[in-house]
Homo-oligomer: A and B are copies of this chain.
Amino acid sequence: MQVTNKTALVVSAHSADFVWRAGGAIALYAKRGWRVCVTCLSFGERGESAKLWRQPGMTLEHVKQNRRGEAARAAELLGAEAVFFDAGDYPMRATDELLYQLVDLYRTLRPSFVLTHSLQDPYNFDHPLAAHLAQEARIVAQAHGHNPEQAVLGAPPVFLFEPHQPEQCNWKPQVLLGIDEVWEQKRRAFELMAAQEHLWEYYTRVALQRGVQASRNSDQKITYAEGYQRVFPQVTDGLS
């Protein structure tokens, strides 16, 4: 895996999560020439593919292939590369093998920032597990004694993207990222997710609401936005 310039890492529990929740940030940074790597820990094959399972004769393998295809196409459309771990879902289980694969990815990519799920979600335990793994892998990648021949990771900030029912997850949008210039791309990525068509309008409305809020919290005119919560304090040379 070749490393070029600036990179960002997205840790997504199921193969479509990154589209609804972080598609704007991904497209924005891809457009800026960054390498954006999206990891899909599972395909969401058991818990997030209801429409496929309603087809007669459906098999787990077929659902996975279908979901993998959709996610790969969405990542491509957004300008990112997708990595699939096939770690299972509902329930996802964290193995040390999976953890170390993520650690390797951190050390290879050396991302400038990381996007992942909220820390709590009473509707979906795979999401906080993915966030936990993303954090734990980051910590291990910082350890000098883990594969000491490799360079250790610095301290990339971690941003938690918006869960489906934000207040129930005790998630709070601390950062509002304007995504107007890539909105059409994000919406087109939605439309590649045939298995979850019921979410297209839902997440379009989320983007519009966060857009209004972004305008109200600034003196800018923003139509579409994404919300993020920070895990760590922002280190900055300016207050804005």
Chain A residues at the B interface, C-beta cutoff of 8 Å:
8, 25, 28-29, 45-47, 49-50, 53-54, 58, 60, 63, 89-91, 93, 96, 99, 112-113, 115, 122-125, 135-136, 139-140, 142-146, 148, 152, 154-155, 157, 159, 164-168, 171-178, 201-202, 205-206, 208-209, 212-214, 216-220, 222, 225, 227-228, 230-240
> 6 closest Cβ contacts across the A-B interface?
A46-B145, A154-B219, A47-B143, A218-B235, A53-B144, A90-B143
Q: Which residue of A89, A152, A164, A239 has the most chain B CB atoms within 10 A of its CB atom?
A: A239
Q: Which of B90, B145, B225 contacts A49 (CB 8 A)?
A: B145
CB nearest to A235 among chain B residues = B218
In whole angstroms, what is the CA distance A50 to B58 when docked? Answer: 52
Is B233 touching A174 in the complex (CB atoms < 8 A)? yes
Is A122 touching B206 in the complex (CB atoms < 8 A)? no
In whole angstroms, what is the CA distance A90 to B176 when docked? Answer: 26
Given A172-B168, A208-B205, answer yes or no on A139-B239 (Cβ-Cβ < 8 Å).
no
CB nearest to A179 among chain B residues = B237
In whole angstroms, what is the CA distance A4 to B174 when docked? Answer: 31
In whole angstroms, what is the CA distance A201 to B172 when docked? Answer: 23
Is A216 touching B91 in the complex (CB atoms < 8 A)? no
Is A234 touching B53 in the complex (CB atoms < 8 A)? no
Is A177 touching B233 in the complex (CB atoms < 8 A)? no
Given A113-B240, A239-B175, answer yes or no on A148-B234 (Cβ-Cβ < 8 Å).
no
In whole angstroms, what is the CA distance A42 to B125 when docked? Answer: 24
Q: Which of B8, B47, B53, B178 contacts A235 (CB 8 A)?
A: B178
Is A176 touching B219 in the complex (CB atoms < 8 A)? no
Given A122-B135, A172-B168, answer yes or no on A177-B46 (Cβ-Cβ < 8 Å).
no
Is B90 touching A139 in the complex (CB atoms < 8 A)? yes
Is B124 touching A139 in the complex (CB atoms < 8 A)? yes
Given A47-B144, A213-B233, answer yes or no on A174-B174 (Cβ-Cβ < 8 Å).
yes
Is B177 touching A172 in the complex (CB atoms < 8 A)? no
Is B216 touching A155 in the complex (CB atoms < 8 A)? yes
In whole angstroms, what is the CA distance A89 to B232 when docked? Answer: 22
In whole angstroms, what is the CA distance A85 to B159 when docked? Answer: 35
In whole angstroms, what is the CA distance A205 to B207 when docked? Answer: 11
Is B216 touching A165 in the complex (CB atoms < 8 A)? yes
